[in-house]
């Protein structure tokens, strides 16, 4: 008992000394992300935790509150709790459904907190102090540029889309805009829900339906993995190539190995959450100006630069 | 137009009428096949039909288990999540055994055994909570649905569990190869279906299921051990989920938190389309097979045509499902 007390006392003294050293009080940052329902959000959770661990060691006076929510009501409850019980100074949020979350996030902002929104645009402009996102139209456009380059004579392609939400539409529009005026012919596009099993099914049926396919754009690596198995089953690996998106390790390894079926990938890294947490922390501990919009490039990953994107520890 | 079939059949002799009306799901299936043939010439090819049947086999095998559970007046919402967690554990077991057993069939067989065992254990847990714990089946399996789903997310560390590359190559033929041109998943599906039909129609267990589902009190007074029969249906369901996963894992060699999402609803829909009553008391295993094949064909046909916008896929599915059940409505009312 006595021992615990003295440890506590020591901790308090150490804490106040540490605080004095940087001449600043303790700050608390809330981080709210959607639950890991698919590979990409799994990556978001992983990179968020990793950034929090790293920054907690670097800045002992910064506290983090991390919450992962399966749906919007839970995510709203999470951020309400963060404000009410943990007295956060800043909120970093990747809203599962931005439209449903907008007013709740606005309340946090109106309460005088610093708000960082990640990946998904809120339905009202100017709520967030800082916006960090990937480039969805660019993801489509960069993929389209690759198709144009390798199929200059044109050819038949099929598209496997994600879920019917705005992100998917932006990617799709970006791609369709990119191939406008070329001889590339989109035979069909269907939703594969960013899911391997659906990717397999839809691709199997596309292969049944179309005897001549030169290229497949899945805009997501989970869908790609399903589609690749369907193509292997049909024995048509040599007739076409598949371009996904996101930068999943399994696909990157194939790209790095020079696989003909998956020659390239387009990055859309879940690590953007780490970028957002870093910037927000920098703002709170040193008051550097970070407000604004940060759009991370959706880079084309080829055999030559794949090594730069490989990360053996990433679960995504 | 389709709904009028039972009415016109209502006039003739009783025996004939019942014949036509139990054929409701078959009629829906036939119409769907006709639609497929008119929409795309590749629909009625051997390759396409085996594709659809092979990928329907997971849901099909699970739905046969669900037919017993539902016939006995129960419900199991956990099957989709259970499939995911079994797939995850199977992959982990196989990866873990490679150093001691080496790359080969022994690893795969050990994985299969682990999968079936885990399915049985999960079934025992569901069944014990429902029959001994006296908790509503809906609540128990809603709870285990969440538990299993989180477990697989936890095991996969939020990402994806992948089977060792070389073992995946050994295991792969289980989904992609077959006997005399018939893929193994279809063969297993057929064997389970025939066995299920025999158990439901010809064994005491099958009759007890129907008796309990139609009136639990009467069944109890008829000295049927209601709790044990119910428990058995959940164990059977768990084991069949295990069997389905044995066929699922070799397809993509991976499991994640998205594996098996909504399979429980697809299985239940297949059972009901097939003519089993949701409130229990009457089960038709062959009907379930037809129901699951109908669901599989709907998805296939939607991908083979370009008349219906992909935005309307859900609506088309809904219409077909309601139509298929409507065909049977005529049977009960008319």
pLDDT at residue number A24: 54
Partners of A205 on chain B (C-beta within 8 Å) are: 48, 51, 299-300, 303-304
Instruction: Estimate the crossing angle of helix A221-234 against helix A39-58, to 10 degrees.
Output: 140
pLDDT at residue number B318: 85
Give the number of domains in chain B.
1
| DSSP string for B61-114 | HHHHHHHHHHHTT-----HHHHHHHHHHHHHHHHHHHHHHH-SSHHHHHHHHHH
Q: Could you report the predicted ipTM of this complex, rounded to two decimals?
A: 0.75
Q: What's B229-245 look like in SS3?
A: HHHHHHHHHHHHHHHHH
- Using a 10 angstrom Cβ sphere, with 0-12 exposed, 13-18 middle and 19 or more buried, the burial of residue B255 is buried
pLDDT at residue number B19: 52
Give average pLDDT by consecutive 10-residue segment, chain B, 334 residues. Answer: 41 48 81 90 90 93 97 95 96 93 92 96 96 94 95 84 89 91 94 96 94 93 93 97 95 87 91 88 92 91 81 80 75 46
| Closest residue of chain B to A316, computed from CA coordinates | B159
Partners of A201 on chain B (C-beta within 8 Å) are: 55, 299, 303
> What's the whole-model pTM score?
0.79
| Cβ-Cβ contacts under 8 Å for B95 (sequence gap 6 or more) | B163, B164, B167
**Radius of gyration in angstroms for the set of CA atoms belonging to chain A, rounded to a whole number:** 23
Q: Which of B178, B172, B168, B192 is nearest to B50 (CA)?
A: B178
| CA distances for B146 relative to A89, A309, B115, B257, B280, angstroms | 33, 34, 19, 11, 25
Check CB contact under 8 Å for B254 and A204: no
| DSSP string for B175-226 | HH-EETTEEHHHHHHHHHHHHHHHHHHHSHHHHHHHHHHH-HHHHHHTT--H
Residue B327's domain comprises: 4-333
Q: Which of B153, B156, B304 sits opposite A205 (nearest CB)?
A: B304
| DSSP string for A2-29 | HHHHHHHHHHHHHHHHHHHHTT---EEE
Token pair 């008319």 in the structure block, residue: B334
* Tens digit of each residue's pLDDT (9 = 90 or more) over A35-64: 877 778 888 888 999 999 999 999 999 999
**Radius of gyration in angstroms for the set of CA atoms belonging to chain B, rounded to a whole number:** 21
Neighbours of A77 (CB within 10 A): 13
Q: Please give the Cα distance from A200 to A183 (Å, whole number).
A: 27
φ, ψ of residue B65 in degrees (nearest 5): -60, -45
Check CB contact under 8 Å for B254 and A316: no
Domains of chain A plus CATH, in order, are: 2-133+270-296 (3.40.50.2300), 136-266 (3.40.50.2300)
Taking the CA of residue A48 and the nearest CA in chain B, the distance in Å comes to 12
Q: Please give the Cα distance from B185 to B194 (Å, whole number).
A: 14
Taking the CA of residue A97 and the nearest CA in chain B, the distance in Å comes to 18
Taking the CA of residue A127 and the nearest CA in chain B, the distance in Å comes to 30
Neighbours of A7 (CB within 10 A): 10
- Per-residue pLDDT band for A84 (boundaries 50, 70, 90) equals confident
- H-run or E-run covering A243: strand A241-243
Taking the CA of residue B305 and the nearest CA in chain A, the distance in Å comes to 8
Check CB contact under 8 Å for B42 and A233: no
Q: Which of A260, A261, A272, A267 is nearest to A309 (CA)?
A: A267
Neighbours of A70 (CB within 10 A): 15
- Joined together, the tokens standing for residue B231 give 């428990």
CATH code (residue B49): 1.10.3470
Token pair 């992300």 in the structure block, residue: A33
Q: Please give the Cα distance from B19 to A111 (Å, whole number).
A: 70
- Joined together, the tokens standing for residue B139 give 């609540």
pLDDT at residue number B4: 42
pLDDT at residue number A6: 53
């Amino acid at each position: 008992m006595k021992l615990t007390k003295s440890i506590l006392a020591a901790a308090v003294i150490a804490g106040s000394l540490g605080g004095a050293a940087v001449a600043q009080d303790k700050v608390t940052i809330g981080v709210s992300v959607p639950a890991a329902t698919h590979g990409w959000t799994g990556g978001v959770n992983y990179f968020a935790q990793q950034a929090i661990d790293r920054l907690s060691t670097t800045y002992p006076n910064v506290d983090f509150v991390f919450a992962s929510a399966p749906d919007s009501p839970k995510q709203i409850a999470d951020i309400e709790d963060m404000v009410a019980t943990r007295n956060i100074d800043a909120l970093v949020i990747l809203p599962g459904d931005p439209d449903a979350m907008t007013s709740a996030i606005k309340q946090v902002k109106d309460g005088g907190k610093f708000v960082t929104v990640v990946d998904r645009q809120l339905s009202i402009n100017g709520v967030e102090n800082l916006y960090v996102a990937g480039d969805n139209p660019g993801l489509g456009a960069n993929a389209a540029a690759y198709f144009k380059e390798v199929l200059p004579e044109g050819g038949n392609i099929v598209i496997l889309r994600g879920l019917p939400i705005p992100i998917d539409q932006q990617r799709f529009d970006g791609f369709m805009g990119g191939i406008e005026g070329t001889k590339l012919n989109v035979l069909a596009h269907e939703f594969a829900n960013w899911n391997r099993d659906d990717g397999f099914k839809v691709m199997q049926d596309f292969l049944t339906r179309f005897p001549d396919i030169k290229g497949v754009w899945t805009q997501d690596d989970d869908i790609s993995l399903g589609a690749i198995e369907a193509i292997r089953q049909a024995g048509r690996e040599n007739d076409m190539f598949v371009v996904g998106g996101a930068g999943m390790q399994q696909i990157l390894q194939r790209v790095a190995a020079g696989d003909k079926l998956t020659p390239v990938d387009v990055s859309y890294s879940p690590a953007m959450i780490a970028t957002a947490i870093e910037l927000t922390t920098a703002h709170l501990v040193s008051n550097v100006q970070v407000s604004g919009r940060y759009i991370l490039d959706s880079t084309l990953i080829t055999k030559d630069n794949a090594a730069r994107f490989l990360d053996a520890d990433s679960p995504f | 137009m389709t709904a009028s079939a039972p009415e016109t059949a209502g006039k003739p002799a009783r025996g004939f009428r019942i014949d036509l009306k139990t054929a409701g799901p078959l009629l829906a299936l036939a119409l769907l096949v006709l639609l497929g043939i008119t929409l795309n010439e590749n629909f009625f090819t051997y390759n396409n039909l085996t594709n659809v049947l092979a990928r329907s086999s997971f849901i099909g095998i699970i739905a046969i288990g669900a037919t017993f559970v539902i016939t006995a007046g129960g419900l199991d919402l956990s099957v989709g999540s259970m499939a995911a967690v079994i797939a995850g554990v199977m992959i982990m077991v196989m990866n873990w055994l490679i150093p001691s057993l080496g790359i080969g069939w022994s690893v795969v067989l050990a994985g299969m055994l682990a999968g079936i065992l885990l399915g049985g254990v999960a079934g025992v847990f569901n069944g014990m909570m429902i029959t001994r714990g006296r908790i509503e089946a809906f609540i128990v399996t809603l709870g285990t649905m969440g538990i299993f789903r989180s477990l697989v997310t936890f095991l996969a560390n939020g990402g994806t569990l992948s089977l060792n590359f070389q073992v995946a190559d050994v295991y792969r033929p289980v989904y992609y190869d077959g006997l005399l041109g018939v893929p193994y998943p279809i063969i297993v599906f057929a064997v389970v279906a025939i066995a299920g039909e025999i158990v439901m129609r010809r064994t005491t267990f099958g009759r007890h299921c129907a008796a309990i589902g139609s009136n639990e009190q009467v069944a109890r007074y008829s000295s049927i051990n209601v709790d044990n029969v119910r428990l058995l249906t959940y164990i059977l369901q768990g084991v069949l989920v295990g069997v389905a996963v044995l066929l699922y894992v070799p397809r993509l060699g991976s499991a994640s938190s998205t594996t098996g999402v909504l399979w429980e609803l697809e299985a239940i829909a297949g059972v009901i389309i097939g003519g089993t009553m949701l409130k229990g008391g009457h089960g038709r295993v062959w009907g379930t097979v037809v129901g699951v094949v109908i669901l599989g064909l709907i998805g296939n046909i939607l991908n083979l045509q370009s008349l219906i916008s992909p935005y309307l896929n859900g609506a088309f599915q809904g219409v077909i499902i309601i139509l298929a059940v409507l065909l049977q409505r005529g049977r009960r009312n008319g």
